[in-house]
Chains A and B, each alone.
Chain A
Amino acid sequence: MSGIELLQIWIMAFLTLALLSFLYKDNPAYKLAEHIFAGLSAGYYVGLIWDTVIVQQLWEPLIAGKVLLIIPGVLGILMFGRFSQQYSWISRVSLAFVMGTTSGIFLVTQLHGLVLAQMRSTMRSMAGADGFADLMLSLVIVIGVIATLIYFYFSKEHKGILGGTAKVGVWFIMIAFGAHFGYTVMGRVSLLIGRVQFLIQDWIGSFNQII
């Protein structure tokens, strides 16, 4: 292990312990680590965007002769109008372009790729069931989808059959929340495991390099 690698490990260990120290109470070490993270992230992000977007996808092709790139370049510059109260309206031209293209792309892709595909899958789940158990599971999915959608139907008061179905929908939503909560616990614990693994294996493991 080189000296630089050793230094990296010790910096990582200090920042990890500084951030975990917040669990006891707020303190200057935690604040320092938090500010380093915010500053480094912002600096890194600006540098990365400058290099990968402005230089590689705008400036270099532009000087190579792709003159049409002037249009997105100018639209990008117009966004800076937001820094001036007098000229902030200029940025609306670029924003209108961004909103138009984004909604155009998203409308088609989300509908085609997510909504229709999931609807098709739900409708077909019973027809394609493999055996009795699979059919029952498919039935649960179909009932769950319909009951949950009815719960989110607010144009009629939830009474009678509608109210009963909405209550079934609430049960499905609660079960889904439970599954999400269980997975969230697992996810958060995994992050702690990752840090502890680093501290024990890499940081404490590096002690023998120093001694």
Chain B
Amino acid sequence: MSGITGERAVSRRWVLRGGAAAGCVALGCFPAEEATGESVEGKPTGGAPADPAGPWAWIRIAADGGIAAYSAFTEMGQGIHTLVATIVAEELEVEPAAVAVLPAPVDPLYDNPFFGSQVTGASTSARAALPALQTAAAALRAMLLAAAAERWRCAPADCFARDGAIHHPGSGMTFGYGELAAAASRLPTPRSTAVKAPGDWRLLGRPQPRIDSPAKIRGTARFGIDVELPEMLMGSVVNAPVAGGRLQWVDPAPALAIDSGVVVVPLEDAVVVLAESFWTAERAIAALSPQWDQGPAAGLDSREITTRLQSALAGPAVTAEEVGDASAAAAQVARTLRLDYEVPPLAHAAIEPPNATVRVAPDRIEIWAPTQAPTAARAAVAEALSRPVRDVLVHTTLAGGSFGRNLDTRVLVQAALAARAAGRPVKLIWPRPQDIRHDNYRPPAACRIEVGLDRTGFPVRWVQRIAVPDLRGAGASYLRGGPPTAGPDPEAVEGAASHPYRFLYRRVDWADVAINLPVGWWRSVGHSFNAWFIEHAVDEIARGQGLDPTALRRRLLRSEPRCLAVLDAVEAMWHAPPASGHFRGTALHVSFGSVVAQSLEISLPAGRPRVHHVNCAVDCGGALDPDAVAAQMEGGIVFGLTAALHGSISLRHGQVQEGNLDAYRLLALAESPTVDVLILPGPQALVTDGHEAGGVGEAGVPPVAPALCNAVLAATGRAVRRLPIRLT
């Protein structure tokens, strides 16, 4: 933006004529259905910009001045649609509410640079959206300025953008963006455009009202499960009870006896039943007695999982990291502690069950789904129906939570196969027990930490072995961001290797464990267990040596100023010592580029931990929306507490025992603590380069389990050896 000299004489007649001409050119008028975000087909419609892969691929301006931006990321609660609107509004000098956000179609233009395909995951949405949309919006602003300057025959620097219009202060004249859009779209994209400096931000860095909140509290927000198509059938499913099992045969007669209109669709490893009502489909499917080949996992039970994890701790392993001087450390070791921990598999249990709506036409297949992975979804459906990917259109809907669940493409494939079989559009919903029993689970994991203490009781040698199934076999290659790496699975050891604690010697080993259980990405992935292993161990070590855990943490972090600042900040959030009968625990973890420390207070009424309050300090390198960051920390804390207090998936004869939310318990409001979040101001340099800022969608999860167990240790003098916490 620049000032204006005011000396340029601009022909009033030219301006009028120019304005009138611009008003006749409609560029990018969004069809009504597109503006609702329910149907976006192919590339953005309207007009033919000179540079279709440039900024106009991200942002369109209609002749009436309406602005719409594409989100390459699925809105699943993290607030990315609001951030997309805010970034665009910041550069285009409008209010976020003036920017409609549409889900992007599948196109390499919208690939997540962290993955190389369209994926919402790994806490990257904000970090990836910022540079792409900032650059696009800044280029558009420059093109609108150039288009206006051409009309006024002045220099672009003599004009400025504000409130959806380009202004010429010298004359007081303005053009709305809609009047300029057609001309601007014919201009070449500027080779480089300066984005606003963080110091000039008026929206970013400040809490914004979420643009999706009004519809969400009125019940008018459309999630995947709410999609309606003409002639649509509703579907329910029963999957092979044991993962890897196969359908042998199913007699459809009992389902047809419930309702003669139902369609029974046998699939390789499932039976889908279609009806006019989901309730009818549910009743019909309950009447069936499918015969299954249970497959190779039929013998798996929870005890077997523990046995395999334990033998992996004693068997061969690969070294993921080795730092320091082994012999120097060994020379100082006076005593060695061996600390063992184990965590169970966990389900995602998003409240919106997995669902997909599919219409199969001769020339194309359309999918509506709350998917986190549109590129993988498209490929999976194309492959299942033997069609080229260009025939498959994916409409990404709002997701009712996800946490990694909707990286799974099975429900889309089943819906597509069922829609083809029935010759009608199908909305397939996995009933809750199918969701819980056929998830891609957070893998079970075990850990052994051998800690060498010197004569003063200070840890100098840290040898950690993690036994956990390889996640690289999970899901499609689109979800990995490149070909599988050789050597140790990076996600098995994330949060353990490259840990900020400094020892004279540290080695982190990983032992793969063959367990016939589908595993996948669950909010914070490997960090979800590695933070617990390490941070609970630190308190156990400290208390065993009579050291203050926070003092020990400070010594281990002595060369990590960023971590130290976060640790000091969280401790300073307590203003009084704990009440009698209350105990505190603290933990810190670095994940997804963010440093998070949490300190919480518990009591143990009737021998069960009750979490009263959690303080949370986070350094994410600068917060694009502090309130959204705080919400993610609060949500991460509740998610992590749910796992630590209740979370467990158990198996018997290869079948998951927990079916619904009565058995797979989620933390209830009455069990939920109050939470205070402090966001440390990050260096602005970090936030100007999105790739160096930290993500926040997952970073709030890892520290809370160890903080809780550290409080339990403080209260009882006993460490927790396995989650969920079961005090005896």
Indicate, yes or no, whether A interacts with B: no
